[in-house]
Amino acid sequence: MFSKIKSTAGMTMVELLIALLLTGIISAAMFKIYINQHQAWIQQGNVIEMQQNARAAMDELSRQLRMAGYGIPPSLQPFQAYNGDPDSIMIQYRGNDNVATLAAASVPSGSIDLTGSDLSHYCSSQEMYIFNPVTETGEYFIASSVDSASQKILHSAPLSAAYPAGSQVMEVARILYRLDKSDSAHPMLTVRFGNGSANDYAEDISDLQMNYKLKNGVVVDEPVLIGDVRQIAITLTARSSTVDPDINGGQYRSRVLHSRVYMRNSGT
């Protein structure tokens, strides 16, 4: 005779469904937390990168502007807007303290005789500046070769004028900073040295503005006389590399930096 089984171990279908539902809810909550944390981590990385780009760009601009006008002849401007573009500025200053003096008159093409001068700071393919102190005029040229033995610099492209003995040859740093907005998703602050090609310097810089405080205290967007400028106010705007979905449904984060640079070499 068989005894009756009064109870069996196991789960009913209802209990199984409830367990699956609770598991799904907990898993979804954990996945949501993970997604939120991951997005926050990505955005935090974007913010750090944005701040680093902005600070590096502002520090570089401020440092170069403090050098503007150092040691250059009166024929050159310490700085100027490039083609009237407010998102750019060209800065000029003497690259080193070495100045070579012409020992003999130079013809518009050929070689420049710098007998008695130290040419160790110069090299072929270097951009140089020749200045006539009598007429206070000059021009840039590229050295095709530097002959230290004969103390001559050769230039393949003809000069626009003849330069008399006593004219000077020097290295002038000519640096152009400009915003390149050709890629609207990633505007770049570019830098160009001399007659070279522009290179990317800082990513995701969306705006660059400058105004100028004159010696009479007036602040202008574009100075008439560079020598009247005593201070340059720089406003630089950087933005994140990607949009943040938590900002108005998807906007770029941005940071605005301000700096004031007192001109040490351009004023009179």
C-alpha closest to that of 146 among 165, 175, 172, 169: 169
Strand partners, 178: 88, 190
Cβ–Cβ under 8 Å, residues 251 and 52: no
* pLDDT (0 to 100) of residue 217: 92
- In this prediction the pTM is 0.77
pLDDT value at 3 more than 80: no
* pLDDT (0 to 100) of residue 51: 86
Tokens 């310490």 found at: 78
Residue 73: HSE in the Cβ half-sphere, 13 Å Cα cutoff: 21
Q: Where does the pLDDT of residue 38 fall: very low under 50, low under 70, confident under 90, or very high at 90 and above? A: low
Tell me the C-alpha distance between 167 and 148, whole Å.
19
Out of 81-85, 113-117, 176-180, 187-191, least confident range: 81-85
The alpha carbon of 125 is separated from its chain's Cα centroid by a whole number of angstroms, namely 24
Going from the C-alpha of 129 to that of each of 45, 74, 97, 187, 265, the distances in angstroms are 45, 12, 13, 33, 19
* pLDDT (0 to 100) of residue 8: 57
Cβ–Cβ under 8 Å, residues 97 and 117: no
pLDDT value at 70 more than 90: yes
Q: Where does the pLDDT of residue 43 fall: very low under 50, low under 70, confident under 90, or very high at 90 and above? A: low
Out of 7-11, 62-66, 106-110, 158-162, least confident range: 7-11
pLDDT (mean) for 186-210 = 90
pLDDT (mean) for 92-118 = 88
Phi-psi region of 266 (alpha: psi -120 to 50; beta: other; left: phi over 0): alpha
